[in-house]
Chains A and B, each alone.
Chain A
């Protein structure tokens, strides 16, 4: 029996949003009917930024609403897209006259509902641009693949931060969207799990793993991974994730890199520090310079025990925008 800190499992999303907003009274406001979170002080005269998707990935997305990042985040049920109507209302709430960039993780339901919201928003003269985040290397089946393409995972945080900083500086709709697409195209992520997450109200995790194996290339909704690999120590697990990223990104020696060591839900902070150490050495060995870091739970999968590594080559513009001030529940500097 898996015990959880829940009331009614069906009410976990509205109750969680309420808790987030009540505990950040200076920063956030909640629209109860359509389940979206906005900044307490709405921005004006800038490009709006809206994101959202299924719940269960906290602090993504509502935890990244605030100055220098999102204007609005809209929440679906656990691992399910918000409805088209929710996204429509959230998109329009993000507009202050200069259009709205929608940041969307690449999942069929999310893409469908954000596209519909974008199309209908034009009826009320709200211009929108969609930035699709598809950083998950495990689902990269090559250019010829007819499927839905790579999934969106932890690089969403980078896209939201960089686009947020650019919008705050006064960039226009096209500029913010192009920047987001540039970030999404050069960031890649790999994930692994030692144990799957458990849905609120469920007794069993989403899948079982033998004690001597890890799920390699796991998705953030408990989707099965690309393969099962043997369990190994922190340095070994970190290498397992890092090496395919380095092969895919082909960064020349001397490149400055943004690295995210992301906990997937129930990974201990001390475990992530070991992974960060191992990643630093692995990158340094290749002549790469890990110049900016996030280490912690940013894009989770309920209580999955595991971690992901995201790498993105930086340039002067991206570093400057990454360093720009941000004040949200999940990210502040």
Chain B
């Protein structure tokens, strides 16, 4: 059993607030492109659902004035639960597990964050009944959770560990373009979704890239690769 060096594995004290702010910017910027993917490989409501979620996030942050990681993520996950379709509740439950990272008032360590992401993946799979290869958000989430856990265990600093998670998620999301859906939004349109990246998997990439930015990585999250 190796001991965790908390000085290098700690996320910034304002990580929750910064992450939510980065996600709001990135998902708002990406909503149109993600909605377009969903029109080609799903039921077309994902762009609208993201905009609805972001409006509810704004409302919750105004009303709750949350302070600290757990409270900020709680305001964020409850907004997603107020969104229709399947993506709203599944992202809501993912962020609910992430809100519990560390279970303290301060920001979690990268190890605790990795554990929470793995829990979130398990919850999404329990509710969505999707496996890797089914052309859903799980295709990005599963490799990302694995990469993050492994990077955290080998003592990478948070920005590098989250960078590894972003790369793994991106690889998984890119691969969804080549698969035919068995679960989720794209299973209704079959072969018509061939060649189109799953928008839920693409959103997972944005979410993790926002976490990397919030942890002290580059300033903004790129969204122009979606499409």
Contact = CB atoms under 8 A, between A and B. Distances in A.
A112 B127 contact: yes
Interface string B13-51: 000000000000000000000000000000000000000
A216 to B, nearest CB: 24
- Per DSSP, chain B at the interface is helix
A310 interface: no
B196 to A, nearest CB: 23
A128 to B, nearest CB: 16
Interface size class on chain A is 10 to 19
A85 B83 CA distance: 8
A109 B83 CA distance: 12
A84 B89 contact: yes
Given A115-B127, A116-B127, A120-B96, A88 B81 contact: yes
B212 interface: no
Contact of B84 (A80, A88, A108, A115): A80
Contacts of B86: 108-109, 112
A106 interface: no
Nearest to A76: B84
A80 B86 CA distance: 11
- Per DSSP, chain A at the interface is helix
A91 to B, nearest CB: 12
A112 B82 contact: no
B82 A86 contact: yes
B114 interface: no
B168 interface: no
A51 to B, nearest CB: 18
Contacts of B81: 83-85, 88, 116, 120
Interface in A81-111: 81, 83-86, 88, 108-109
Contacts of B92: 84-85, 116
B124 to A, nearest CB: 11
A85 B127 contact: no
Contacts of A109: 84-86
A76 B88 CA distance: 14
Interface string B71-111: 00000001001111110110011001000000000000000
A120 B86 CA distance: 17
Contacts of B83: 83
A108 B88 CA distance: 14
A109 to B, nearest CB: 7
Contacts of B84: 76-77, 80-81, 83, 109
B88 to A, nearest CB: 7
A81 to B, nearest CB: 7
A37 B82 CA distance: 18
Contacts of B85: 109
A113 interface: yes
A112 B84 CA distance: 11
B134 to A, nearest CB: 14
B88 A83 contact: yes
A30 to B, nearest CB: 18
Q: Kindly name the residue among A76, A77, A86, A116 whose own CB sees the greatest number of chain B CB atoms within 10 A.
A: A116
Given A83-B83, A84-B89, 15 more contacts: A76-B84, A81-B84, A84-B81, A84-B82, A84-B88, A85-B82, A85-B92, A88-B81, A109-B84, A109-B85, A112-B86, A112-B127, A115-B127, A116-B89, A116-B93
20 contacts: A76-B84, A81-B84, A83-B81, A83-B82, A83-B84, A84-B88, A84-B89, A84-B92, A85-B78, A85-B92, A86-B82, A108-B86, A112-B86, A112-B89, A112-B127, A115-B127, A116-B81, A116-B89, A116-B93, A120-B81
